[in-house]
Structure 1
């Protein structure tokens, strides 16, 4: 080894970002939860296999690509088959597309990750959440929780790329990453709690789904203000 720093996104924050995104998709479409998480697992294995193949570990890389690809496609198929109508099919499709883009952004084959892909992935998941509100296929509480999970996912993706660029993947940063993730999750939990309080107040003329869309607007604002 020549001691060169590998400026790739850090593994812990990348994994937490994908899990949070999968949770957001699953909250909007609970029937697709199992398939979504299986698809994420397959995606991670396939990307790691592709990376190993590119770095001359042909046998291990090929095995990872085959197993991950089969698991990912199977999970995606399971998630899609769980959709009971056109609206749910759109939501699941947007959610899976978002997770894939996010995975390619925080688990790149080369380079230091892609903020563009991670933002595209989060935007697609956000559209799935908006669809859940518009089509009323998910309740207000589920939408609130999904928005909070999406904020956490996006922030973890940004942190994974930023820490990887500054310190490299080999640096022992898992405690800092875990603390950062926990802080963001806490803020998201407070936002959800505030939304539930507003809902319980029973404000006249404010439907339950309007409360969820308030947090959706917060997601847009957060993404717009972030540098």
Structure 2
């Protein structure tokens, strides 16, 4: 009898991590922040490599590589904050979003099947907090704010899809068409929502400032995820 392996699907997991990194990059307005996003991407890639080595039976090599990738991803945030403080610039809160990326990745490796959804939700929440802070304090543009929130939702949705498909069908089933279609539909719906929000903003129908819109939108999205998890 063939043994079915239940792990998060790699394609949706990759989409989730890339979307989370995009969400952080969209509200980054300093060279150090963009460099930190790149370093975090490299760290998560090394983490994924370590996880792949462990799955292939190389536990002695896989664990140190995975830990090195995680450390690199976390160090990217510390270095960016250190540079900001050294330059006399207030450490931007959008860097909090970078902390969400390795958490999301850990939920998709995963280090624990029981904690996978909680790690994904926690990572998503940190990305949203960083985006909201950027809008309320950092002065991000309306387009950057909305685009970042859409990318964050795509990241969370893809992460949940990776876990659901892995639990239901295992890792050997051919699911990539469903994964791409689902993430594409989520992104398309988000783009339509952004277009409508921009139209309302230009018309000044709501009279709500960008900071208030960011807080309301971020709170609503985070509450949705908490209730879902």
Smaller-chain TM-score bracket:
0.7 to 0.9
- CA–CA distance in 2 between the matches of 1:107 and 1:5? 17
Unpaired runs of at least 5, structure 1: none
Q: Is the 8 A contact 1:143 1:212 kept in 2?
A: yes
Say which is worse superposed, 67-76 or 147-156, in terms of deviation: 67-76
The CA RMSD over aligned residues, in Å, is 2.8
Say which is worse superposed, 64-73 or 140-149, in terms of deviation: 64-73
Structure 2 residue aligned with 1:183: 185
Structure 1 residue aligned with 2:22: 23
Q: How does 1:14-163 map to 2 (within 5 A)?
A: 14-31=13-30, 32-50=33-51, 52-53=53-54, 56-58=57-59, 60-61=61-62, 64-65=65-66, 68=69, 72=73, 75-76=76-77, 79-80=80-81, 83=84, 85-88=89-92, 90-92=93-95, 94-109=96-111, 111=113, 114-163=116-165
Unpaired runs of at least 5, structure 2: none
Residue-by-residue CA offset, 1:8-55 (whole Å, 9 max, x unaligned): 100010010011111111112133234213313322322431552476
Q: Is the 8 A contact 1:9 1:112 kept in 2?
A: no
TM-score, reference length from structure 1: 0.84
- CA–CA distance in 1 between the matches of 2:166 and 2:61? 25
Distance 1:100 1:217, change over 3 A: same
Structure 1 residue aligned with 2:12: 13
Say which is worse superposed, 114-123 or 45-54, in terms of deviation: 45-54
Q: Is the 8 A contact 2:81 2:91 kept in 1?
A: no
Distance 1:50 1:156, change over 3 A: closer
Deviation for aligned residue 1:65: 3.9
Distance 1:167 1:125, change over 3 A: same
Deviation for aligned residue 1:60: 4.7
Of the candidates 202, 219, 224, which is equivalent to residue 221 of structure 2?
Answer: 219
TM-score, reference length from structure 2: 0.83
Deviation for aligned residue 1:205: 3.8
